[in-house]
Amino acid sequence: MPRNAESTAFRSALEVIRGVEPRVADAIGAELADQRESLKLIASENYASPATLLAMGNWFSDKYAEGTIGRRFYAGCQNVDTVEALAAEHARELFGASHAYVQPHSGIDANLVAFWAILADRVEAPALQRAQARHVNDLTEADWFALRRELGDQRMLGMSLDAGGHLTHGFRPNISGKMFDQRSYGTDPATGLVDYDRVAEAAREFRPLVLVAGYSAYPRKINFRIMREIADSVGATFMVDMAHFAGLVAGKVFTGDFDPVPHAHIVTSTTHKSLRGPRGGLVLCGPELADQVDRGCPMVLGGPLPHVMAAKAVALAEARRPDFAGYARQIVDNAQALAEGLLRRGATLVTGGTDNHLVLIDVTGYGLTGRQAEQALLDSGIVTNRNAVPQDPNGAWYTSGIRIGTPALTTRGLGTAEMDTTAELIHTVLSQTSAGAGPDGAASKAKYVLDPALADKVSRQASELLTGFPLYPDVELG
């Protein structure tokens, strides 16, 4: 492929968009410029390849395709069948799964498909059949609680939010919390690590229908063999949400007891994050749940997005290439180097380090809330997100932590030496930021004080660090 093919493709696309709504074209160009110039350390973000991005901008966007391969409710879906079959094939081969469902639009959609598949498999009730006949978005909160009563108030056990779990694992603000009676397992207060004996005790006491493992802010591995044993001991279905670490599974960094696919009854994931694909979801399962999973549309989903499934097929094909394993290994090497660099400079890390792609800094040691730290870093060209820490005194809005991850910077080619420099920049900003006061002079959890000159200096240093690692080097828009 000629080196200028990518530039030609994106430049031409923007010219076409500019002819209709130039402000949209400007915003797209500005987003690329912003991403090129900042240290992207949000653990759930990455950079999809040009091929993946281009696969989403085509005529598949115009096609309805409710149903599954060969069983569509619309005619003329033969080409959609092709790309969906390719995406599913790549997912099965990549993860060693017997069945893959690639229609979910997002991680929450993937989880909802899994939850309903489990309920349909485990619970026979007229109420469930009625709910399946209606789109979940049409059910009122009263409907949900009536349904739960008829189903016997089915129970879910998952990781608590402050320990690193995810909102979609049965928490009340999310629709999953209306489907299940949820209880959480936390982490050991002394180590921040999952205590499997306590998980087993909670399972024996609560007797869940579903035991969920997976996380969005837990910086260690989980032993899925042990978790499956716990699930089996109480007759629970074991579900793993590997959205955050799917790339580490695909790249064979997580193997054996730490690979969820051989141990879980059902596995969900996003296709972006460490997997480096388009924003979307997927579900993996064995044959016993395959029929129920394939009812995801119309049970949970509306029409699948064929253009995104095409992009999933491209990204999953990329992840099957030999070099992806090296990329996945470098993600972890970089995260550990970043953690070590922060520890040497006196930062406090939840669990004292990392085994995966993310690091969680407890910023109370700097006298800050997560919200203050997040904004101070953003002012300095470092993009992160605030996150709760175990037993967080500041709650889920202000938080006491900052979550950082290495998938995106690893995609750009940065290595362990650059991670140490990144740790220095982060520490410099946090150590030079102080909590501010509100209008009444009282301490604020949001306001902060940072010398603008220092923020500008760190921002320039971050930009200089990235100079040798250009983002989309073959894409020139100007």
Q: What is the pLDDT of residue 362?
A: 97
Does residue 2 have a cis bond before it (omega within 30 degrees)? Answer: no
Q: Give the pLDDT score at 14.
A: 92
Sorted by where each starts, the structural domains of the chain and their CATH numbers stand as 59-319 (3.40.640.10), 324-467 (3.90.1150.10)
User: Contact at 8 Å (CB) between 97 and 285?
Assistant: yes
What would the pLDDT profile of 25-63 be if each residue is shown by its tens digit? 999 999 999 999 999 999 999 999 999 999 999 999 999
The pLDDT value recorded for residue 2 is 47
Q: What is the pLDDT of residue 212?
A: 95
Residues 6 or more apart from 380 whose CB is under 8 A from it? 425, 429, 450, 454, 455, 458, 459, 462
Residue 138: the pLDDT is: 60
pLDDT at residue 1, as a whole number: 45
- Per-residue H/E/C for the chain: CCCCHHHHHHHHHHHHHHCCCHHHHHHHHHHHHHHHHCEECCCCCCCCCHHHHHHCCCHHHHCCCCEECCEECCCCCHHHHHHHHHHHHHHHHHHCCCEEECCCCCHHHHHHHHHHHHHHHHCCCHHHHHHHHCCHHHCCHHHHHHHHHHHCCCEEEEECCCCCCCCCCCCCCCCHHHHCEEEEECCCCCCCCCCHHHHHHHHHHHCCCEEEEECCCCCCCCCHHHHHHHHHHCCCEEEEECCCCHHHHHCCCCCHHHCCCCCCCEEEEECCHHHCCCCCEEEEECHHHHHHHCCHHHHCCCCCCHHHHHHHHHHHHHHCCHHHHHHHHHHHHHHHHHHHHHHHCCCEEHHHCCCCCEEEEEHHHHCCCHHHHHHHHHHCCEECEEECCCCCCCHHHHCCEEEEECHHHHHHCCCHHHHHHHHHHHHHHHHCCEEEECCCCCEEEEEEECCHHHHHHHHHHHHHHHHCCCCCCCCCCC
Closest CA to 301 of 118, 121, 141, 68: 68
The set of residues, in sequence order, having a beta carbon less than 8 Å from that of 338 and lying 6+ positions away, is 359, 404, 406, 419, 420, 422, 423
Residue 69, classified by CB atoms within 10 Å of its CB into exposed (0-12), middle (13-18) or buried (19+), is: middle
CA distance 16 to 349: 48
Taking a C-beta distance cutoff of 8 angstroms, is the pair 163, 136 a contact?
no
The model's pTM:
0.90
Distances (CA, A) of 212 to 13, 103, 182, 220, 387: 42, 21, 11, 16, 21
pLDDT of residue 457: 97
Instruction: Report the relative pairing of strands 281-285 and 434-437 from DSSP bridges.
Output: unpaired
What is the model's pLDDT at position 166? 76
- Which stretches in the chain have pLDDT values below 50? 1-2
